[in-house]
Amino acid sequence: MALPKPVVIRSPGLERAGETPADGATRGHAHAHAAVAPHGGRYDDILDAIGHTPLVEIPRMSPNPAVRIYAKLEMVNPTGSVKDRVAKYLIDDLEERGLLGADSIILEPTSGNTGIALAMIGRRKGYRVALVMPDNVTNERRLMAALFGAEVIDSPGHLGSNGAIALAKHLVSKDHRFVMPYQYGNEANTRAHEETTGPEVLADCPEVDVFVAGLGTSGTLMGVGRFMRRAKPGVRIVAAEPLPGEWVQGLRSLDEGFVPEIFDPSILDAKYLVANVDAIAALRDLIDREGIFGGPSCGAVLVAAAREAQQMTSGTIVALLADGGWKYLSAGTFTRSFDEMHEDLEGGVSWW
C-alpha cells in the first residue's frame, strides 16, 4: 500500500490537547485575514475568483499521530486546478510586455491543466489559444480545452511533456503569430505562487513546518519556497517527483533530460520519488478516508507528505493538491484493478 493505516482520528471540537470545544470551533473557521482575500465571497469577474482556496485537515492520511497534515484544495479554482493561478499571471505578463497583437495566437505545451486555464482566460479576454498536448492525455482534458475554444495540437505521447515542449518551440519558430508564455521558463509562473499561494498557506496555517507539492514546472515549489524563505525561514519545501521512465505529465522526473529553467534546486529541502502505482493507491485512500476527489498527482504528493511525516517527531504539513479527479475518470483511475492498469501505469497513459 502507498500509505500506512490511519492511526488517530481527532475529534473536530478538541483539536489540540487542552483545547475547549469553543476553542476548536473558533479554529475551524479561521480563514478570514486582512492580507489575503478570504475563501469564497463575491467577485466582479471569474478571474478574480482564482485562488483563495481552502485548507482542510486530513488526519486519516497521516501515519504519525503527532503530525497534522492539511490539504490545500486547488481543485476549487474556476477550471479545477492550481494552474488557474499560473495562467492568469502568464497572460498578464504577455499583456504587460506588449506581446499580444490582433493576430496573435497564444501557444503553450501542456499536459492539460495549464492549457485548460489558458483557454478559459483567453476566451474571457478575447485571445486565440492553441495547445500542444501529448496524444495520450485523457479525453476529458482535450474536451475541456476545446470547450473553451482552444485548438489542440497533438505531440507524440511516448515523448511525454518533453515532446510537447519541443514541438511547441518548433511551431513558434515557424509562425510569427504564435506567442508562447512558456511556463517552464517564465518567472511569472513562480511569481503567481510567491504572491498568492504562499501567502495563503501562511495566513491559514501560521504553524506550518513543511510544504509539499508536486514537481512539474516547479513553479509552485519555487514560488512558495521563495515566499517562505522571507516570511517564515525554516519551513521545509518538499517535492514529490515521479520515478524515471514513467511517462507522466503535470509532474516530471528531472532525470529525464529536461530541467525547467525556473527550477532552483537550492529552494528544495527534500524530494521523494513516487511510483505511479503508489500515487494511485494513495489517491484512492484519499477518497475512502477523507472523501476528497483528487487527481493522480495529489496521490503522489500525499505519499511524499506521509514519508516526511514518518520522519518528524511532531509538527504540521501542508500538502498542495493540484487538481480534482474528474478529468481522469475515462482512464479508469478510480475503478480498475492494479493488474488491469499495469501497462498504463508503466507509461501507456499520461496520468499526471
Catalytic residues: 83, 297
Cell 494511485 maps to which residue?
A: 280
The three cell numbers of residue 324 are 480534482
Tell me the C-alpha distance between 216 and 233, whole Å: 24
- β-strand partners of 270: 238
The β-bridge partners of 316 are 68
Per-position b or e across 166-184, b if 16+ CB within 10 A of its CB: bbbbebbeeeeebbbbbbb
Find out whether 352 and 248 touch, Cβ atoms under 8 Å.
Answer: yes
Residue type, 11: S
Q: Which residues have CB under 8 Å from 94's CB, separation 6+?
A: 100, 106, 179, 181
> Please, is 7 exposed, middle or buried when counting C-beta atoms within 10 Å of its C-beta (0-12, 13-18, 19+)?
exposed
**Whether 112 contacts 249, CB under 8 Å:** yes
